[in-house]
Structure 1
């Protein structure tokens, strides 16, 4: 139960970050609409709004940076435990290959939870990255319609900031939390599962 609570805490943390970044993206799409003909008052308003949204984005990244080492340690330790758990299930099935037994629904549910929960934070981190990409695309599109030099320069500065400081959550510079992490784990587990099955046929 404590393990589930630990996973849910990290999931809620990244889900909250994703929701905030999604709200920021939707707000920017609705408020930052540059037209070819704008009055000076509208230009100044758009500049102030753009600076405000960039500051909000910066605050979100700063909050992620303040996440303590305890959460990173739990994510780091969950990976080998995930690997061991998957192979424990595989070995159990290989050892009992000749036995006929009823599959318990609670056992299947427990296996699914233990396999899926450690990967969910990486999926939410990838969703955050997707939202940042959508913000960058929206600002790039607005440049096509913006004719004011001051507003264009501020938009270029915002795009440069997004490029220089993208969302990236790393675990002590060892690996990044993104979609490549669960895909890599699944690929690794699949490869070694095939190897174990082959060895079980040879030496079983």
Structure 2
């Protein structure tokens, strides 16, 4: 049998083609993979502060506490806006029902009362504002989230440029 070096699977073994055992080749491939993992470990960080590795389990209590605090504060801030948005949608439905009933009714007295109610609802819309400046509706959720994200990005950029 001719001797040749089997470079692709067993580079350190010089054997005949039929003598390379599967266990030795598998062992070599496993050793190569482990050596690669040792030389190039998984080292990523979240915002250059929290390492994303197996030690992340040590931070799990911190993350869970921060996540629950964040969730609680978001629910407390946004629940009035969501409730008001649902109420605004109900007022819109009431307007549609009043308009439909005005068109369908033949009684003049009832039509007058329906028109008065519709005029009242149109002139005094269901709206709330915070300090007469910030409207309290579903857009509050998106604007405050966008505001927070913008300033987190600004803070990260300032800390990045301050390092130089």
In 1, the alpha carbon distance for the partners of 2:107 and 2:98 equals 14
Contact 1:94 1:200 in 2 (8 A): no
Structure 2 gap segments, 5+ residues each: 1-45
Distance 2:81 2:143 in 1: 12
Aligned equivalent of 1:96, options 41, 46, 49: 49
What is residue 81 of structure 2 aligned with on the other side?
122
Report the alpha carbon displacement of residue 127 of structure 1 after superposing the two structures with TM. Answer: 1.3
More strand by share: 2
- Structure (1/2) with the larger helix percentage: 1
TM-score by length of 2: 0.58
User: What is the number of equivalent residue pairs in this alignment?
Assistant: 112
Aligned to 1:162: 121
Pairing partner for 2:90 from 128, 131, 135: 131
Aligned to 2:149: 190
In 2: Cα distance, 1:107 partner to 1:171 partner: 27
Query: TM-score, structure 1 length as denominator?
Result: 0.48
Distance 1:155 1:94 in 2: 59
Separation in 2 of the partners of 1:170 and 1:196? 29
Q: Given the superposition, is the C-alpha separation of residues 195 and 128 from structure 1 closer, same or farther in structure 2, using an over 3 Å criterion? A: same
Q: What is the Cα deviation at residue 95 of structure 1?
A: 6.5
Q: CA deviation at 1:125?
A: 1.3
Structure 1: gaps (5+ residues): 1-92
User: Superposition RMSD on alpha carbons, in Å?
Assistant: 2.3
Between the aligned partners of 2:47 and 2:74, the Cα distance in structure 1 is: 18
Larger Rg: 2
Kindly tell me: are residues 175 and 107 of structure 1, through their superposed partners in 2, closer, same or farther at Cα, counting changes over 3 Å?
closer
* Aligned-partner Cα distance in 2 for 1:152–1:127: 28
